[in-house]
């Protein structure tokens, strides 16, 4: 079986959904499982619904109506008959969402987040499945929450691999076109969980691992994995082939084409990963597979915006040793700070982190009890794999360098622009 993943950009409107159908006509669809994300910027729109639920109840209705309006426009563009079953199915999903919003008693933001944002994927796959059926492409819609089981770490759930493998091996139809949702799972109480933002790639890898898939293809609006994000760097070039190791390094440092968790399950079973263009599906794209000889021969640039540079120093000029560092990292873990860079000296310790859950103020108050805390907000972290002098100079030009770190293969620079 092949696993195809289509992200939000590929199904952002009616033309996008028609194009996905066209891609399948060109590359085949038998014995294939599609993992599909929410449409366009739906997750962002549902995040606003959640924010209004907790903070601005007077704006809750209007923000929800925007989500409905967006999807109903796509429905009207795809289905002329408003008596079509798809309207009933989508209406039911929105009714379930509204019921949850009315009846929920939990004050847990992360729990509410997962229950609400999940409707983006459920609605998108419902629309795609019905459109394919209308166009003559028989398919099997499946609810991923019945297959991927997790713990209850809402917004960043951990997969129960044993249960998940059993359910997927038994429940996924072979020799058919299956359609399911990315990003989602469920806990032991059958509450919806999510696998982390942009987690649909990971979903594809989970199914591939459990099904011993032939391959995974991530369909993007770019030709494949580039040596730099074309939005931030001119003259980005395509990497035709890279190793699992290199792909994991690039994803870890923040390359957005592949989700960081995606590679490990594939590497374990040596399942090849392809990153291809849904605009030009017959182009070769990038192939990720086993092999030391697949390292890029050119610098690869990654930039992460909106980072925090935190510098801690001892109050009494005592050394910051292993015991202190262990305590600091325990706090980073507790407050869900993703650490991207570390640098320390005798009496100071600096980290560049991503505060995606907005916990820094609480963490800062805890750290200030034992350390002097200095920080810079909204900094950028540039990482260059396989760097050279010219690449470093280009990244640093016109910026204030706050911290720099160099290893054999990698240069990292924290800048304020």
Classified by CATH at the fold level, domain 300-416 comes out as VC0802-like (3.30.2130)
Classified by CATH at the fold level, domain 2-213 comes out as Carbamate kinase (3.40.1160)
| Cα dihedral 129, 135, 139, 140 sign | positive
Give the pLDDT confidence of 183-196 residue by residue, as tens digits.
Answer: 999 999 999 999 98
Torsional class of 58: left (φ above 0), alpha (ψ -120 to 50), beta (otherwise): alpha
The residue extents of the domains of the chain are 2-213, 300-416
Q: How far apart are CA 206 and CA 208, in angstroms?
A: 5
Tell me which H or E stretch contains 393. Answer: helix 389-396
Tell me which H or E stretch contains 219. Answer: strand 215-220
* pLDDT at residue 183, as a whole number: 95
Q: What angle do CA 142, 247, 408 make, to 5 degrees?
A: 160
Give the pLDDT confidence of 186-231 residue by residue, as tens digits.
Answer: 999 999 999 987 789 999 999 999 999 999 999 999 899 999 988 8
* pLDDT at residue 182, as a whole number: 97
Q: Provide the whole-model pTM.
A: 0.86
CB 115 within 8 A of CB 46: no
* pLDDT at residue 315, as a whole number: 81
Give the residue from 380, 34, 15 showing the smallest Cα distance to 229.
380
What stretches in the chain show pLDDT beneath 50? none
* pLDDT at residue 96, as a whole number: 98
Give the residue from 25, 26, 35 showing the smallest Cα distance to 2.
35
Tell me the percentage of the chain whose pLDDT exceeds 90: 82
DSSP letter string, 256-305: TTS-TTSHHHHHHTT--EEEEESSSTTS--EEEES-GGG--SS-EEEEEE
Judge residue 153's burial from the number of C-beta atoms within 10 Å of its C-beta, 0-12 exposed, 13-18 middle, 19 or more buried: middle
């Amino acid at each position: 079986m092949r696993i195809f993943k289509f992200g939000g950009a590929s199904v952002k409107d009616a033309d996008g959904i028609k194009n996905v159908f066209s891609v399948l006509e060109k590359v085949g669809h038998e014995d294939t499982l599609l993992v599909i994300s929410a449409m366009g910027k739906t997750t962002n729109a549902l995040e606003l619904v959640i924010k209004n639920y907790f903070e601005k109840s007077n704006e809750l209705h209007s923000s929800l109506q925007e989500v409905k309006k967006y999807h109903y426009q796509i429905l009207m563009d795809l289905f002329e008959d408003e008596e079509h079953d798809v309207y009933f199915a989508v209406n039911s999903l929105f009714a379930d969402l509204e019921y949850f919003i009315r009846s929920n008693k939990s004050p847990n933001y992360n729990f509410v987040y997962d229950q609400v944002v999940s409707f983006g994927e459920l609605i998108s796959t419902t629309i795609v499945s019905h459109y394919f059926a209308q166009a003559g492409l028989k398919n099997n819609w499946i609810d991923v929450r019945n297959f991927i089981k997790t713990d209850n770490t809402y917004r960043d759930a951990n997969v129960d691999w044993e249960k998940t493998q059993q359910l997927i091996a038994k429940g996924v139809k072979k020799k058919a076109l299956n359609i399911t949702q990315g990003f989602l799972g469920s806990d032991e109480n059958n509450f919806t969980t999510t696998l982390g933002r942009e987690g649909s790639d990971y979903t594809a890898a989970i199914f591939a691992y459990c099904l011993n898939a032939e391959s995974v293809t991530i369909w993007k609006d770019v030709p494949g994995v580039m040596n730099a994000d074309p939005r931030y760097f001119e003259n980005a070039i395509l990497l035709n082939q890279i190793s699992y190791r290199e792909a994991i390094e690039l994803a870890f440092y923040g390359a957005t084409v592949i989700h960081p968790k995606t590679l490990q399950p594939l590497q374990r079973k040596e399942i090849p990963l392809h990153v291809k263009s849904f605009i030009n599906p017959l182009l070769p794209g990038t192939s990720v597979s086993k092999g030391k000889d697949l390292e890029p021969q050119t610098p690869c640039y990654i930039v992460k915006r909106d980072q925090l540079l935190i510098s801690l120093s001892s109050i009494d000029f005592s050394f910051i040793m292993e015991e202190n560092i262990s305590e600091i990292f325990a706090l980073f873990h507790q407050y869900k700070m993703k650490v991207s860079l570390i640098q320390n000296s005798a009496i100071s310790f600096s980290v560049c982190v991503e505060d995606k859950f907005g916990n820094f103020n609480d963490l800062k108050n805890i750290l200030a009890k034992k350390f002097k805390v200095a920080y810079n907000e909204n900094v950028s972290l540039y990482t260059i794999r396989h760097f050279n002098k010219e690449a470093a100079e280009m990244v640093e030009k016109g910026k204030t360098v706050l911290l720099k770190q160099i290893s054999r293969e990698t240069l990292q620079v924290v800048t304020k622009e």
